[in-house]
Amino acid sequence: MFDQLDALLLARIQFAFTVSFHFIFPSFSIGLASYLAVLEGLWLRTGKQVYLDLFKYWIKIFAIAFAMGVVSGIVMSYQFGTNWAVFSDKAGPVIGPLMAYEVLTAFFLEAGFLGVMLFGMNKVGKKLHFFATLMVALGTLVSATWILSVNSWMQTPVGFEMGANGQFLPGDSWWDIVFNPSFPYRLAHTVTASYLVVAFVVGAVGAWHLLKDKTNPQARKMFSMAMWMAALVAPLQIGLGDMHGLNTLEHQPQKIMAMEGHFDSHPDGAPLILFGIPNSAEKRVDYAIEIPKASSLILKHDLDAPMAGLDTIPDNQEPPVGIVFWSFRIMVGIGFAMMGLGIWSLFARWRNGLYEWTWLHRAAIVMGPSGFVAVIAGWITTEVGRQPYVIYGLLRTADAASPLDAPAVAASLLAFVLIYFAVFGAGVWYILRLMGKPPATGEVEANHGYDGPIRTAGITPGPTQNPGQAEALPSEREDA
Amino acid sequence: MMDLTVIWAFIIAFAVFAYVVMDGFDLGIGILFPTFRVGQGRNRAMNSIAPVWDGNETWLVLGGGGLFAAFPLAYAVVLPATYPLIIAMLLGLVFRGVAFEYRWRDERHTKFWDLAFFGGSLIAAMSQGMTLGVLLQGIEVVDRAYAGSWWDWLTPYTLLTGAGTVAGYALLGSTWLIWKLDKGVQRHARYVAMRSAIATIVLMGAVSLYNIFLNAEYADRWLSAPEVYFAAPVPILTAIIAIALLRSIVRGRDHTPFWLAIALFFLGMAGLGVTMFPYIVPPGLTIWDAAAPESSQIFMLVGVAITMPLIIGYTAWAYWVFRGKVGEEGYH
């Protein structure tokens, strides 16, 4: 019994670790693929060199991020079976086909056109290359659509019947399963989040190079584009988040109770707890700073609307309050900070200070990684908030695991942690190095020709950069 | 007998075959990587697959995702049974995949990422071959769940199937390089291809013989009438192809060895089909035991019917764009 509990806990840690790590890369590559498509489209339309330079600058970063997304994603597609075999057996007939559709309509599309996008600029025409870029961008969006449909079905399961063997079986309509109640909100909120992730990364890189040289035309262009995104999309995202929250209140009220820290029911208007320390043992929020009735106003659009609290939920069906309470506040706080930077940039633009105001640039650099933090915090909010269930209300996480021995799971968890930090740490370091180099006119592309890849790593190509290659040339001649 | 479940068994088999062949030559190049000279030799070998490896690896996701969708019970049983192998394969693929980008980004650590490319490929290939071995030697299932211990995957037989897969992938990789390279590097590829071909043929034979002793039912299928009349063409054709393959390498043919290596894998797959069908997880689970309900099968079949021609079409186009020999300056 003790062993079983251990294996379960380890499997949960392993899934949380691998999925959180993985989620970082797609949330970057979904937005970046779209940004690259926009840049290449603008280049084809206007013929301006600056767009081509930016395209070539960012595609090198995209190549590394995409590779990390692919390899960490394959882990996810097998982890359901290795660690969550009971879940796989029971839910496979319903969610398996959606994931198969993701492979068929998205993964092949991305992978099939990625080679041409990365290496084919000189081999196919400009228009065909643009088509390849569009297909990669489309593939990332289609992929997000299917996997969020799967996730949403697990959060708000509908359209199924229970089979005699304990499996969830598809009901009459696949439409109901795919377009389950939380899916449209989750999709809109997540894809928009991905665009914001990229906007703030691009903005930070632009700002970094503006601080060094405010005349750099590529840095100016990318900073300007990113700040338009911040100003326009951050408010939109807050609105989408609000709608997603109302949807969650309707379908997963416990999650909202945990996010709000509402241990008690409030029959005549619930307060909005801005900060506090949730105390699950005593079932109260310590040191709470509250705005009276504001929670009812936000969630029910009525100051005096009654709101149920966790006191109405049996203890064994409650999510862990502390984690959800905090991760939600981190996400929302970042959302408003993003909007603040967007508004600041509008003001700077109006006063002709967009490329001059160094404090704005410094703030943009600080906010560079904020999108990733917000995405992970949001993910934790929604995933921890639906506990203790893996299929909401129907299958408990504790009943979904594989029959594995604890040492096997412990060993694999350790391997994942060590290897992910080493490998993806190196990748992030390479990306930061590319970002540290200023974008230049006549930027070279990510061509894996024979001297290409080495050259793309630096602005000044030269044989000294690659002594191995220089040595190799004569030796190849030798045996030729 | 030709019901939806059988169709799905063939679709999964096709995905696995497509993966084994296409990522097989990628992994094979990784396995052979240390035998190529640092510099042009390695650069050209890797560049011959850089634009296509990601598409090739996607077939693995289709194999896994398709199994999850079409035969969820098999997915839920096989993966826990082969847990350490699957984890090792996934981590191997992590190293292999990132090496494609990393080795160009960091000239001081190119050697390290070359080693990661080799080690990742080798571990992934070995794990895949051993997973096949675990499946063939039989998996204990009680109450819709894996009931064996977590060391069942490590036996002399699984080591043999693992080694066979490594040799086979090296054969695919080296024959691909014969096709895509020229001059000294091509001669080196030919030299390695010969040795890989011999190793593959010997290990294929050894695994086949071992199968007959492994399980009485397998022996029946290959040795007793009337099954033997259906089964016999497979080993006979395999022998013919094997001889043709060796000759084509010796005679310095350009792309023939690659196609013959694929034919050899196809016959291996056919032999596997004869051995296993209709079991998906021997000895207890047939494809019908593990199949998803009809509604799931039909829903996905529509998707496969629409998307598969497109996938094959644009994949072929991507290969066409990067056709020809990989020279020192890139693709000619």
pLDDT digits (tens, 9 = 90+) for B232-260: 888 899 999 999 999 999 998 989 999 99
Spatial neighbors of A368 by CB under 8 A, at least 6 apart, are: A200, A201, A203, A204, A205, A207
What proportion of chain B, given as a percentage, has pLDDT over 90?
52
Asked if the Cβ–Cβ distance from A96 to B296 is below 8 Å, we say yes
What percent of chain A has a predicted confidence (pLDDT) above 90? Answer: 52
Phi, psi of B211 (to 5 degrees): -55, -40
% of chain B surpassing 70 pLDDT: 98
Q: For chain B, what is the radius of gyration of the CA atoms?
A: 20
**Does position A362 have pLDDT exceeding 80, yes or no?**
yes
| CB within 8 Å: A170 and B97 | no
| A198 in contact with chain B, both atoms CB, cutoff 8 A | no
Mean of pLDDT values over A471-476: 36
**Range B59-84 average pLDDT:** 89
Non-local (6+) Cβ contacts of A99 within 8 A are A77, A146, A147, A150, B65, B68, B69
* Secondary structure E strands in A53-116: none
Contacts of A412 in chain B (CB under 8 A): 83-84, 87
Tell me if A402 and B303 make a contact (CB, 8 A cut-off): no
Q: Which of residues 8-67 of A touch B (CB under 8 A)?
A: 63-64, 67
Asked if the Cβ–Cβ distance from B97 to A67 is below 8 Å, we say: yes
Would you state the pLDDT for residue A4? 55
pLDDT of residue B328: 61
Is residue A173 scored above 60 in pLDDT? yes
- Round to whole Å and give the CA distance between A85 and B80: 7
Tokens 């996730």 correspond to: A151
Pick the residue from chain B with its C-alpha nearest to A171: B295
Give the per-residue pLDDT at A461: 35
Among candidates A480, A287, A376, A371, which has minimal Cα distance to A31?
Answer: A371
How far separated are the first and last CA of chain B, in Å rounded? 50
> Measured between CB atoms, which of A111, A119, A468 is closest to B39?
A468
Could you tell me the pLDDT band of residue A432, with boundaries at 50, 70 and 90? very high
Alpha-carbon Rg for chain A in angstroms: 25
Residues in B touching A427 (Cβ below 8 Å): 98, 101-102
What are B280-304's pLDDT values in tens digits?
888 888 999 888 888 889 999 999 9
Chain A residues touching B70 at Cβ < 8 A: 96, 100
- Ranking A97-106, A164-173, B118-127 by mean pLDDT, the lowest is A164-173
Given this model, what pLDDT does residue A54 score?
94
Average pLDDT, integer, range B192-208 = 94
Please check the confidence at residue A76 and state whether its pLDDT lies above 80. yes
Q: What is the pLDDT of residue B146?
A: 85
Q: Which of A53-57, A201-205, A402-406, A408-412 has the lowest mean pLDDT?
A: A402-406
C-beta atoms of A71 and B98 within 8 A:
yes
Report the residue of chain B nearest A424, measured CA to CA: B98
- A468: nearest CA partner in chain B: B39
C-alpha to C-alpha distance for B326 and B66, rounded to whole angstroms: 34
Q: Do A476 and B40 touch (CB under 8 A)?
A: yes
Question: Is residue B86 over pLDDT 60?
Answer: yes
Q: For the purposes of burial, counting CB atoms within 10 Å of the CB of A148, is it exposed (0-12), middle (13-18) or buried (19 or more)?
A: buried
What's the whole-number average pLDDT of chain A?
87
Residue-wise pLDDT for B20-59, tens only, equals 999 999 999 999 999 998 888 888 889 899 889 888 999 9
Q: Would you call A97 and B299 a contact, using CB atoms and an 8 Å cutoff?
A: yes
Quick one: A156 exposed, middle or buried, by C-beta within 10 A (0-12, 13-18, 19+)? buried
Q: Which of A223-232, A396-405, A450-459 has the lowest mean pLDDT?
A: A450-459
Chain B CB within 8 Å of residue A140 CB: no
Q: Is the dihedral of CA B266, B272, B277, B281 positive or negative?
A: negative
pLDDT computed for residue B278 by the predictor: 87
Helix axes B233-250, B256-276, angle to 10 degrees: 160
